[in-house]
């Protein structure tokens, strides 16, 4: 049972883990600290600006089963042992969003976000000094620009066209990871009824039929990897 709120002032306060599990595996009971600041402002021109900055840090220990190969009595023996790995993760992000009301039916917006993530995998000194040491210092930087144009009619019909540009670079990997740059476009139309308690929506996701290979060290949305037809029906009572 969760007692504390998941979000405070729009910032996430509760995480399953900060270290991406697809990079370092599950780290239950990890400690994390969050520092977030945001500024919202509305201009008389019906322009809304949102600026945020976050710094997330987390540490965790993982214990692995291992075998210690030694020579004894002219042969090899491998008694079971354990190795503890320390994970030290830090993520810094800044974002700026500008949204504009265009008349009574149109809305447009653009958002830029920069995320820099670093992960240090630390091992005991007797392993860190090996020529084939598994110790690593990984880093990834992700630039994202997303925008949308939305139409809403008072009778209930609405539509939206959105796009997202993503560019990522990674360091510390062996062999080196290639950078990635990819665009995504989505298109929706729909209708709201029953005083906005019901909604039907039809759209096409990933119009450009783009696949991607983004490094999971940076937190990012999971987009469809091919052009996909999307339909939904929502009822709220």
How far apart CA 202 and CA 210 sit, in angstroms, is 20
Entry pTM? 0.84
Report the pLDDT averaged over residues 138-162: 95
Residue 24 phi/psi, 5-degree rounding, is -120, 0
Whether pLDDT at 1 is above 60: no
H-state helical runs in the chain: 21-24, 125-128
pLDDT at 200: 96
Residues listed for the chain:
237
**Is the Cβ–Cβ distance between 106 and 148 less than 8 Å?**
no
Closest to 90 in 3D by CA, of 36, 144, 136, 34: 34
Other beta carbons within 10 angstroms of residue 19's beta carbon come to: 25
**Is the Cβ–Cβ distance between 129 and 86 less than 8 Å?**
no
Cα angle value 190/112/32 (rounded, 5°): 100
Whether pLDDT at 2 is above 80: no
**Sorting pLDDT into bands at 50, 70 and 90, what band is 13?**
confident
**Tokens standing for residue 39:** 């500024």
Tell me, yes or no, whether 2 lies in a domain.
no
Please enumerate in sequence order all residues whose Cβ is within 8 A of that of 206, keeping only pairs 6 or more positions apart, or say none: 184, 185, 186, 223, 224, 225, 226, 227, 228
Cα angle value 35/37/39 (rounded, 5°): 170
Tell me, yes or no, whether 171 lies in a domain.
yes
Closest to 35 in 3D by CA, of 86, 88, 91: 91
* Domains: count for the chain: 1
Tell me, yes or no, whether 71 lies in a domain.
yes
pLDDT at 30: 82
What mean pLDDT value characterizes the chain?
89
More confident position, 212 or 30: 212
pLDDT tens, residue by residue, 18-43 = 888 888 888 877 888 989 999 999 99
Q: What is the span of the domain harbouring residue 51? A: 7-235
CATH number of the domain residue 177 falls in: 2.40.170.20
pLDDT tens, residue by residue, 97-146 = 999 999 899 999 999 999 999 999 988 887 766 667 788 899 999 999 99
Closest to 20 in 3D by CA, of 90, 112, 124: 90
Tell me, yes or no, whether 197 lies in a domain.
yes
Tell me, yes or no, whether 1 lies in a domain.
no
Share of the chain above pLDDT 70, in %: 97
pLDDT at 55: 95
Tell me, yes or no, whether 146 lies in a domain.
yes
Whether pLDDT at 203 is above 90: yes
């Amino acid at each position: 049972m969760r007692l504390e709120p998941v979000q405070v002032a729009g910032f996430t306060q509760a995480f399953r883990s900060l270290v991406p599990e697809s990079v370092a595996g599950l780290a239950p009971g990890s400690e994390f600290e969050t520092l977030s600041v945001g500024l919202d402002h509305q201009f008389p021109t019906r322009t809304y600006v949102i600026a945020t900055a976050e710094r997330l840090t987390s540490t965790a220990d993982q214990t692995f089963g291992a075998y210690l190969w030694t020579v004894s009595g002219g042969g090899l023996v491998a008694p079971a042992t354990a190795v503890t790995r320390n994970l030290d993760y830090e993520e810094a992000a800044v974002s700026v969003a500008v949204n504009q009301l265009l008349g009574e039916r149109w809305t447009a917006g653009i958002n830029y976000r920069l995320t820099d993530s670093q992960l240090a995998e630390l091992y005991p000194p007797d392993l860190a000094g090996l020529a084939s040491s598994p110790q690593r210092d990984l880093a990834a930087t992700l630039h994202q620009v997303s925008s949308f144009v939305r139409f809403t009619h008072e009778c209930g019909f609405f539509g939206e066209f959105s796009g997202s540009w993503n560019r990522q670079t990674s360091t510390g990997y062996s062999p080196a990871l290639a950078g990635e740059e990819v665009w995504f476009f989505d298109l929706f139309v729909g209708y709201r009824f029953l005083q906005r308690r019901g909604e039907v929506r039809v759209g096409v996701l990933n119009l450009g039929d783009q696949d991607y290979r983004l490094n999971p060290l940076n937190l990012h949305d999971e987009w469809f990897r091919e052009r996909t037809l999307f339909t939904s029906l929502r009822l709220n009572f």
